[in-house]
């Protein structure tokens, strides 16, 4: 009835062997995938941390605005390339802290954005 080799095994036994093989391959594959995801996350973290963090520094900005208002200096029109319609000063913070500070002064002086 049964011949030699895998073909001689009953179907339930073959199914069990096949399932076991699939599970072992998927476990190895999952482990490799987890390692790859961890490596990619570490690389992304390193890229993010390598860029400068531009905090708002509200005390410094307020001191600058107060000193410029006391001197009576009018803020200049925007000269940079980062301003887009619909932006607020906070949007400039991702590009340059000085542009952010100047935008805050402009907004305080004129009551509007660029």
pLDDT in tens, 61-84: 999 999 999 999 999 999 999 999
Lowest mean pLDDT, pick from 2-6, 47-51, 65-69, 77-81: 2-6
Number of domains in the chain: 2
Other C-beta atoms lying within 10 Å of the C-beta of residue 46: 9
Give me the domain span that covers residue 22: 6-50
Residue 1 inside a domain? The answer is no
Separation of alpha carbons 73 and 112, rounded Å: 17
Separation of alpha carbons 73 and 89, rounded Å: 19
Angstrom distances, CA of residue 21 to CA of 15, 33, 107: 10, 18, 67
pLDDT-derived band of residue 27, with 50, 70 and 90 as boundaries?
low
User: Are residue 106 and residue 62 in the same domain, yes or no?
Assistant: yes
User: Are residue 11 and residue 32 in the same domain, yes or no?
Assistant: yes
User: Are residue 30 and residue 63 in the same domain, yes or no?
Assistant: no
């Amino acid at each position: 009835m049964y011949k030699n080799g895998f073909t001689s095994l009953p179907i339930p036994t073959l199914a069990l062997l096949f399932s076991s093989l699939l599970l072992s391959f998927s476990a190895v594959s999952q482990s490799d995938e987890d390692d790859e995801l961890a490596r990619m996350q570490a690389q992304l973290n390193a890229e993010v941390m390598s860029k400068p963090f531009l905090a708002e520094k509200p005390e410094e900005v307020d001191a600058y605005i107060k000193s410029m208002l006391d001197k009576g200096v009018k803020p200049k029109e925007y000269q940079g390339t980062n301003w887009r319609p619909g932006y607020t000063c906070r949007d400039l913070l991702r590009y340059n802290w000085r542009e952010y500070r100047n935008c805050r002064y402009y907004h305080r002086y004129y009551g509007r954005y660029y």
